[in-house]
């Protein structure tokens, strides 16, 4: 960290400070997050990697801090990604990664190899340091790496490794040779032999760390294969059902049948999307880990040993099918998702067209009903005019008859003939009633 504040600020002259970006210190520190540790030959390292979740990662950091504190050793600072402490004659190196952590015990080889062969005694008898650390998660990687001085003796390799799977290469411009069969020994550790031909302590430390990372990341990269194998049957089932649905679309008729088929396609798309989202991280991580493996192997500059494949050649031959399987499953997921979307869009269009046709037919039926209702209304209006007129004319007739019989009309100087008055009232009353009904209808129509 720079400057007087310890937070990345930069002090310029006396009393002047340039405020740093909040992430400046973290970005600068990332370049030095996992520095190489110098290693003297001979040496033996036991390396283990454990898978973690966010919760177990916190518990692992706390457990390591408690262990260090109980020994009077400094605990890892909050937020650091690596920590190194000495336990007796061994050094413990701890590293924290996105989904795993590693513990590496650095043991002086002179104390653990009393015999002429490397990897003696067995790693199981040397793994007691791991018992002091609470296991943070499932064990994924276990490596027993032995760094020895090269004696140009190859006969013991057949006694240590499976020759059918043995990969050897000269590295670092011929300053060392590396060998492994990538198989677990009876103790469960993958053995890696490094034969030193004049490496400096710094170069040896860098080589050892790159080899441990190669084994760690190649194992992590292969975690995508079980996921691909798990997904393959479900993808095949969705592919088959999609093909059947596409054939059904050519013969299916009716809104109900098309809706049922559309619901099934949507359910298949949702199922595929859920599986794709669940596997997205795993496949992406496998690709990233494979790139790291290739980068590490390119850095050590392998040169083939006659009669043996290099590490790169061995891993390319053995890992390539697994990585292609992961890639093929991922591509199938993407293609099927697109096809499901296209099929659902086509079917949804058909459903929309059928709905529009149904709506058109429904509107036509409603228009016909409206016309019938209008005719009925006009008929009722005509009958209403006749009925009302009849009652009004009857009242006029009763009035005229009453006036005539009582002699009131003569008192008024008018001689009324009830029949004539009734006859004259009929057209007047009919026109008046018709006018009132029309006025009422027009008034109602204006309000609507």
Whether residues 134 and 263 fall in one domain: no
Host domain of residue 414: 378-447
Asked if residue 367 belongs to a domain, the reply is no
Q: What secondary structure, in 3-state letters, does 6-70 show?
A: CCCCEECCCCCEECCCCCHHHHHHHCCCCCCCCCCCCEEEEEEEEECCHHHHHHHHHHHHHHHHH
Whether residues 248 and 108 fall in one domain: no
Residue 199 in this model has a pLDDT that exceeds 60 = yes
Whether residues 69 and 141 fall in one domain: yes
Whether residues 54 and 89 fall in one domain: yes
Asked if residue 327 belongs to a domain, the reply is yes
- CB under 8 Å to 326, separation ≥6 — which residues? 224, 225, 227, 228, 283, 286, 287
Query: What is the predicted pLDDT for the residue at 390?
Result: 79
Q: What residues are paired with 180 via a beta bridge?
A: 167, 192
416-437: average pLDDT: 79
CA distance 37 to 447: 93
The domain total for the chain is 4
Q: What is the pLDDT of residues 73-90, one digit of tens each?
A: 899 888 888 888 887 678
Residue 412 in this model has a pLDDT that exceeds 90 = no
Asked if residue 93 belongs to a domain, the reply is yes
DSSP assignment of 299-362, as one string?
Answer: HHT-EEPTTS--HHHHHHHHHHHHHHHHHHHHHHHHHHHHHHHHHHHHHHHHHHHHHHHHHHHH
Q: Which of 172-176, 321-325, 328-332, 426-430 has the lowest mean pLDDT?
A: 426-430
Query: What is the predicted pLDDT for the residue at 2?
Result: 42
CA distance 65 to 73: 9
CA distance 100 to 140: 9
Whether residues 407 and 441 fall in one domain: yes
Q: How confident is the model at residue 46 (pLDDT cuts 50, 70, 90)?
A: very high
Residue 29 in this model has a pLDDT that exceeds 70 = no
Whether residues 199 and 292 fall in one domain: no
Query: What is the predicted pLDDT for the residue at 399?
Result: 80
Could you tell me whether strands 176-184 and 90-96 are parallel, antiparallel, or unpaired per DSSP bridges? unpaired
Q: Which of 93-102, 156-165, 293-302, 362-371 has the lowest mean pLDDT?
A: 362-371
Asked if residue 373 belongs to a domain, the reply is no
Query: What is the predicted pLDDT for the residue at 446?
Result: 47
Whether residues 402 and 260 fall in one domain: no
Asked if residue 369 belongs to a domain, the reply is no
């Amino acid at each position: 960290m720079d400057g007087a504040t310890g937070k990345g600020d930069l002090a310029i002259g006396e009393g002047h400070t340039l405020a740093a970006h909040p992430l400046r210190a973290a970005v600068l520190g990332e370049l030095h997050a996992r520095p190489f540790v110098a290693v003297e030959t001979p040496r033996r390292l036991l390396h283990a990697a454990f898978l973690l979740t966010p919760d177990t990662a916190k518990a692992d950091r706390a457990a390591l801090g408690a262990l260090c504190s109980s020994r009077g050793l400094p605990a890892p600072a909050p937020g650091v990604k690596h920590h190194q402490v000495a336990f007796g004659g061994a050094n413990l190196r701890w590293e924290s990664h996105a989904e795993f952590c590693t513990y590496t015990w650095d043991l002086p080889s002179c104390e653990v190899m009393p015999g002429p062969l490397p990897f003696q005694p067995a790693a199981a008898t040397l793994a007691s340091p791991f018992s002091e650390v609470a296991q943070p998660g499932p064990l994924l990687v276990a490596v027993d790496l032995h760094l020895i001085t090269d004696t140009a003796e190859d006969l013991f390799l057949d006694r240590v490794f499976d020759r059918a799977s043995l990969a050897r290469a000269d590295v670092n411009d011929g300053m060392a040779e590396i060998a492994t069969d990538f198989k677990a020994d009876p103790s469960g550790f993958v053995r890696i032999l490094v034969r030193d031909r004049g490496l400096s302590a710094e170069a040896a430390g860098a080589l050892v760390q790159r080899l441990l990372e190669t084994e760690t990341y190649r194992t992590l990269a292969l975690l995508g294969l079980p996921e691909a194998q798990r997904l393959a049957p479900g993808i095949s089932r969705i592919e088959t059902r999609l093909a059947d649905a596409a054939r059904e679309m050519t013969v299916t008729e009716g809104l109900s049948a098309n809706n049922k088929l559309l619901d099934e396609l949507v359910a298949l798309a949702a199922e595929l999307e859920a599986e794709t989202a669940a596997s997205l991280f795993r496949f992406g991580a496998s690709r990233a880990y494979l790139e790291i493996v290739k980068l590490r192997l390119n850095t050590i500059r392998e040169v083939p040993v006659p009669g043996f494949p290099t590490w790169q050649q061995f891993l390319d031959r053995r890992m390539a099918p697994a990585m292609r399987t992961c890639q093929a499953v991922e591509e199938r997921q993407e293609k099927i998702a697109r096809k499901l979307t296209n099929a659902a869009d086509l079917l949804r269009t058909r459903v929309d067209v059928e709905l529009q046709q149904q709506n058109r037919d429904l509107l036509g039926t409603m228009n016909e009903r409206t016309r019938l209702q209008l005719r009925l209304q006009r008929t009722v209006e005509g009958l209403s005019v006749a009925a009302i007129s009849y009652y009004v004319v009857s009242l006029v007739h009763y009035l005229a008859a009453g006036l005539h019989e009582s002699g009131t009309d003569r008192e008024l100087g008018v001689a009324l003939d009830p029949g004539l008055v009734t006859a004259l009232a009929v057209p007047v009353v009919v026109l008046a009633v018709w006018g009132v009904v029309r006025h009422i209808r027009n008034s109602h129509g204006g309000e609507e």
